[in-house]
A = this chain, B = another copy of it.
Amino acid sequence: MAEKTIPYKIYLEESEMPKYWYNVRADMKTKPAPLLNPATHKPMTAEELSAVFCDELIKQELDNDTREYPIPQEILDFYKMYRPSPLVRAYCLEEKLQTPAKIYYKFEGNNTSGSHKLNSAIAQAYYAKKQGLRGVTTETGAGQWGTALSMACSYLGLDCKVYMVKVSYEQKPFRREVMRTYGASVTASPSMTTEVGKKILAEHPGTTGSLGCAISEAVEAAVAHPGYRYVLGSVLNQVVLHQSVIGLETKIALDKYGIKPDIIIGCAGGGSNLGGLISPFVGEKLRGEADYRILAVEPASCPSLTRGVFAYDFCDTGMVCPLAKMYTLGADFIPAPNHAGGLRYHGMSPVLSQLYHDGYMEAISVPQTRVFEAAQKFARVEGILPAPESSHAICAAIDEAMKCKETGEEKTIVFGLTGTGYFDMVAYEKFNDGKMDDYIPTDAELAASFEKLPKID
Chain A interface residues (CB < 8 Å from chain B): 7-9, 11, 13-14, 77, 80-82, 91-92, 110-112, 114, 118, 151, 154-155, 173-174, 177-178, 180-183, 376, 379-385, 420, 422-423, 425-426, 428-429, 431-432
Contact = CB atoms under 8 A, between A and B. Distances in A.
A177 B340 CA distance: 15
Count identical subunits in the complex: 2
A85 to B, nearest CB: 11
Contact of A7 (B13, B154, B182): B13
Contacts of A426: 174
Contact of A155 (B80, B154, B383): B383
A11 B11 contact: yes
Nearest to A375: B181
B181 A112 contact: no
Contacts of A385: 112, 178, 181
A174 B422 CA distance: 8
A174 B171 CA distance: 12
A107 to B, nearest CB: 9
Contacts of A91: 77
Contacts of A13: 7
Contact of A8 (B80, B111, B422, B425): B80
Contacts of A14: 7-8
Given A7-B14, A81-B92, A376-B181, A425 B174 contact: yes
Given A11-B11, A181-B385, 15 more contacts: A8-B80, A81-B383, A110-B110, A111-B383, A112-B379, A112-B385, A118-B383, A155-B380, A155-B381, A174-B425, A178-B428, A180-B432, A181-B379, A181-B428, A182-B379
Contacts of A174: 174, 422, 425-426
A199 B112 CA distance: 43
Contact of A423 (B77, B422, B428): B422
A18 to B, nearest CB: 16
A358 to B, nearest CB: 38
A380 B155 CA distance: 6
Nearest to A174: B425
29 contacts: A7-B80, A8-B81, A9-B80, A11-B11, A81-B92, A81-B382, A82-B383, A92-B155, A111-B384, A112-B383, A112-B385, A114-B422, A155-B380, A155-B381, A173-B425, A173-B429, A174-B422, A177-B425, A177-B428, A180-B428, A180-B429, A181-B376, A181-B379, A181-B428, A181-B431, A181-B432, A182-B379, A182-B380, A422-B423
Contacts of A180: 428-429, 432
Nearest to A372: B181
A111 B426 CA distance: 20
Nearest to A175: B425
Contacts of A182: 379-380
A333 to B, nearest CB: 30
A151 B8 contact: no
A178 B91 CA distance: 22
B423 A380 contact: no
